[in-house]
A and B are shown apart, each in its own frame.
Chain A
């Protein structure tokens, strides 16, 4: 059958319609970094406000909005998208696939996240941001005790959450169904394994969040009584539902980081990963246990000693597979040939930093002691150590490591290393002292503190660290900009890599592999190199390659959801213009948005996308235009 004419877009339309996992990775990366700047500014505001006792840069209400947005942004709009960016950039390449199982849904996942994030930040301009913490506990989060800000949280995250769920399904199906011939599960790179387990966690954790959000939306917008005690509702029910999502969520963030560390440590130690089998086992066990510990966020609710003791023990158990991983990484380095560059500096330094965060996690897991630590700066220190000293270090390692593959350019090493040191020093300076602040009685989420309690200097020191991190980010942005100006001539394999992504050009052609490779073992590319081959052995003859068509529908569907979200949020807003009042209060806008989205779904169902083919003659030329 002759290939039908290919609809190819260029420029902005190319990015709006792309279903290519490599481009989607770049979209996730840029948006994630953009929101990282917002979240970072929010962090600086927090730290400046806390620099001096009884300081009044921000009053209590504004501070609560800033802290809520800081947490919500960093977790949902920065960490998760950057994780998805890395997954999109690397996993299909690592398993020898040409794209993910559902390219259209992949794009939809990105655009729903993007518009959810925009909706969330619109709150700043319309009456104030959400203000009950990223945990949104009821009744504080309900209409009676707050303004309209929390509606943006509920609906913005609902929309963004759809995207996360879709990505989870996508990567599960991709990894299960689309591995290259010879790649059994036990020959997959560790990053692919962690993506698999993470996707399973996403599958079961995101829908409880969706239910919690919708129930609170019903309470706030339609007068329901899920969490409102006056109507028979239960604030503790919200806590359960939120944390049944919230705890697995942090493993969604950290497991991919673990995967990146496995790749980078292994590559730059020039050794295979020590204890691959137990790494797979440990990752799976962590994924499973992550659903069994959520009550450790609720030890002080007063649910009784049996519940507290059981969950305390369950939580402590996660330390065991995590410890297994730490030692496996150490022994990967042991006896190796360690190369230090920006990527490996982040990856190696992850090990002690994450352990510091992990041990305070075990301390927090013990119920009676936790009654002192809970809701203090000790907790803030713990989770920043595991998120910044864990997830973020892992993400930076991955970004520097895979940057040449994604962009065809090498990030500047000197700037990268200076940036690394500013980050490391700043991070420890900010958060180490916070453990003590918590132990000295400073609660969290406080916009100020009285002087004379011995908290003044530690807070001041902590703020200095924040500025170091800001410098690091600025240097990183400069690095990106000067790298962008360079010619894309990075080698296919700048790091003497071990896995499949390094066997194809940087950046790869749109079809990734001219011929799907044959996999002969773990670290498939390294195996070929050790056998004296420069390339992978193909598993199929050269032939026409079927590619999915680009589509504007994911973008439009997300816009529809966005419009609908605004329609619901503003359904009680007192506009000055009576026309606006009529179209919003009647839910016409809300319904219009849903009609747009469902309409696109109908179109998608009716118009079957057969994709297009790239012919072998085009493949023979080096580098088909992506």
Chain B
């Protein structure tokens, strides 16, 4: 108990000052740990705001870097003054007297008012410029120049309509590389937010509001898309994929989507199609190229990358989904319809057969 000090007012600094060294060492270690934890600043892997692959994301990245630069400067000034003061002006043991009481300093006060104003102006000018640029409305641009897509956020999946090509699909968003994609955003139920971190910033899909944004992909690839507004239990798993391909491949995809192969021919798939219709799946899931429905359009499900938006599109996962959607995605609005094992297998085969290309 003697170890526990009873602080008795000024003058106990002898014991307390042992901390000053400890404090400096701790600060240093903490800074080092934090710096190391920030290693690999771009987090190789997914394209993301720090690793942009689209024009809009690149411009936003530039703005991010500029603001980080300015802010690091501000922090450096503050930190240097702070750490210097903390070391230089700490009360020494036995020090008495009252330091000079300084009311203020007009010159200093003006400096630290004017310099921040200048720094903010440096940030404000490109910000306003980009804010207007990124709000550009391409609704009346011709289809050859701009690909227009109507995005609708649902709990917990994404619907994509290509009005110029009369295609309605879901979850996988095919776009041509290098071409501006202009998106019109709608919310079907609650507020969601359409976000492709590697290609552009996000825009909310608000029910009752039509919002707009544009983006492009500069390189071919598959980009992760996320929902970025809390929308219920399934929010975390409401992913989608952006598949950016060269223009010819994109045109081929469009053609395949609008002229899909004839209905299923494999026996297993034929049975699956019957189950699909008998069990009522067809009531919520359109399988025509341009059918809108309560649930995702499954026209090209066999080609899709995921099931449930995030799980790999394998027969295993599809089966899991069919048997109990809520287990795969908490909050999924698709009901768990009772199915026998054979029915599950038949549906799995049928869904896998829904391919528009190999």
For chain A residues 392-440, which have a beta carbon within 8 Å of chain B? 410-415, 417, 421, 424-425, 428-429, 432-433, 436, 439-440
Additional A-B contact list (16), CB under 8 Å, known A60-B237, A454-B45 = A235-B209, A302-B185, A305-B134, A335-B89, A337-B95, A338-B89, A339-B16, A352-B78, A368-B201, A429-B34, A440-B197, A443-B236, A445-B230, A454-B44, A482-B4, A496-B9
By a beta-carbon cutoff of 8 Å, the part of chain A in contact with chain B is 59-61, 64, 132-133, 137, 139-140, 145, 229, 233-236, 269-272, 274-278, 300-302, 304-305, 308-309, 312-313, 316-317, 319-320, 323-324, 326-328, 330-331, 333-341, 348, 351-352, 355-356, 359-360, 362-363, 366-376, 410-415, 417, 421, 424-425, 428-429, 432-433, 436, 439-441, 443-450, 452-454, 458, 461, 482, 491, 493-496, 530
Among A351, A359, A440, A530, contact of B82 (Cβ-Cβ < 8 Å):
A351
- The chain B residue with its CB closest to the CB of A368 is B130
- The chain B residue with its CB closest to the CB of A462 is B37
Complex Cα–Cα for A432 and B82 (A): 20
Q: What chain A residues lie within 8 Å of B202 (beta carbons)?
A: 300, 371-372, 374-375
Complex Cα–Cα for A320 and B289 (A): 56
Among A61, A236, A320, contact of B330 (Cβ-Cβ < 8 Å):
A61
Q: Does B99 contact A (CB under 8 A)?
A: yes
Task: Say whether B91 contacts A339, CB under 8 Å.
Answer: yes
Task: Say whether B127 contacts A323, CB under 8 Å.
Answer: no
Complex Cα–Cα for A109 and B98 (A): 42
Tell me how far the C-beta of B244 lies from the nearest C-beta in chain A, rounded to whole angstroms. Answer: 17
Q: What chain B residues lie within 8 Å of A421 (beta carbons)?
A: 26
Q: What chain B residues lie within 8 Å of A376 (beta carbons)?
A: 228
Give the contact stretch, choosing among B165-173, B186-194, B255-263, B290-298.
B186-194
Tell me how far the C-beta of A294 lies from the nearest C-beta in chain B, rounded to whole angstroms. Answer: 16
Among A236, A301, A340, A374, contact of B19 (Cβ-Cβ < 8 Å):
A340
Task: Say whether A369 contacts B4, CB under 8 Å.
Answer: no
Complex Cα–Cα for A352 and B112 (A): 16
Mask: chain B, 10-39; 1 = CB below 8 Å from A; 0 = not: 101100110110010010001001100110
Known: A302-B185, A352-B82, A369-B63. A339 touches B13 (CB 8 A): yes
Q: What chain B residues lie within 8 Å of A372 (beta carbons)?
A: 49, 57, 60, 64, 197, 201-202
Most buried by A among B124, B191, B209, B236: B236
Complex Cα–Cα for A413 and B5 (A): 6
- The chain A residue with its CB closest to the CB of B234 is A60
Among A367, A429, A452, contact of B131 (Cβ-Cβ < 8 Å):
A367
Task: Say whether B226 contacts A441, CB under 8 Å.
Answer: yes
Task: Say whether A356 contacts B75, CB under 8 Å.
Answer: yes
Task: Say whether A441 contacts B86, CB under 8 Å.
Answer: no
Mask: chain B, 83-120; 1 = CB below 8 Å from A; 0 = not: 00110011100010111111111001100110011001
Q: What chain B residues lie within 8 Å of A139 (beta carbons)?
A: 189-191, 207
Give the 7 A-B residue pairs with the shortest CB-CB distance, closest first.
A371-B201, A302-B211, A60-B233, A446-B236, A441-B197, A60-B330, A229-B208
Mask: chain B, 123-159; 1 = CB below 8 Å from A; 0 = not: 1100110111111000000000000000000010000
Task: Say whether A145 contacts B310, CB under 8 Å.
Answer: no
Complex Cα–Cα for A309 and B135 (A): 11
Known: A359-B71, A413-B16. A450 touches B10 (CB 8 A): no
Complex Cα–Cα for A348 and B34 (A): 20
- The chain A residue with its CB closest to the CB of B10 is A496
Q: Does B235 contact A (CB under 8 A)?
A: yes
Most buried by A among B49, B63, B97, B211: B49
Task: Say whether A301 contacts B211, CB under 8 Å.
Answer: yes
Known: A271-B102, A309-B127. A368 touches B59 (CB 8 A): yes
- The chain A residue with its CB closest to the CB of B198 is A441
Name 23 interchain pairs, CB-CB below 8 A, sorted by A. Answer: A60-B236, A137-B229, A139-B207, A145-B190, A235-B208, A271-B99, A274-B105, A302-B211, A302-B213, A320-B113, A330-B78, A331-B108, A334-B85, A336-B99, A337-B99, A355-B75, A372-B49, A374-B202, A413-B16, A414-B3, A439-B48, A494-B8, A496-B10
Tell me how far the C-beta of B37 lies from the nearest C-beta in chain A, rounded to whole angstroms. Answer: 5
Q: Does B68 contact A (CB under 8 A)?
A: yes
Known: A309-B131, A313-B128. A362 touches B123 (CB 8 A): yes
- The chain A residue with its CB closest to the CB of B1 is A482
Task: Say whether A61 contacts B132, CB under 8 Å.
Answer: no
Task: Say whether B191 contacts A235, CB under 8 Å.
Answer: yes
Task: Say whether A330 contacts B81, CB under 8 Å.
Answer: yes
Q: What chain A residues lie within 8 Å of B209 (beta carbons)?
A: 235-236, 301-302
Task: Say whether B208 contacts A323, CB under 8 Å.
Answer: no
Task: Say whether B102 contacts A331, CB under 8 Å.
Answer: yes
Task: Say whether B128 contacts A441, CB under 8 Å.
Answer: no
Complex Cα–Cα for A482 and B79 (A): 36
Tell me how far the C-beta of A120 lies from the nearest C-beta in chain B, rounded to whole angstroms. Answer: 19
Q: What chain B residues lie within 8 Å of A324 (beta carbons)?
A: 109, 112-113
Tell me how far the C-beta of A123 lies from the nearest C-beta in chain B, rounded to whole angstroms. Answer: 17
Complex Cα–Cα for A446 and B331 (A): 13
Task: Say whether A300 contacts B204, CB under 8 Å.
Answer: yes
- The chain A residue with its CB closest to the CB of B13 is A339
Among A317, A339, A355, A433, contact of B78 (Cβ-Cβ < 8 Å):
A355
- The chain B residue with its CB closest to the CB of A378 is B49
Task: Say whether A447 contacts B57, CB under 8 Å.
Answer: no
Among B43, B91, B132, B237, contact of A337 (Cβ-Cβ < 8 Å):
B91
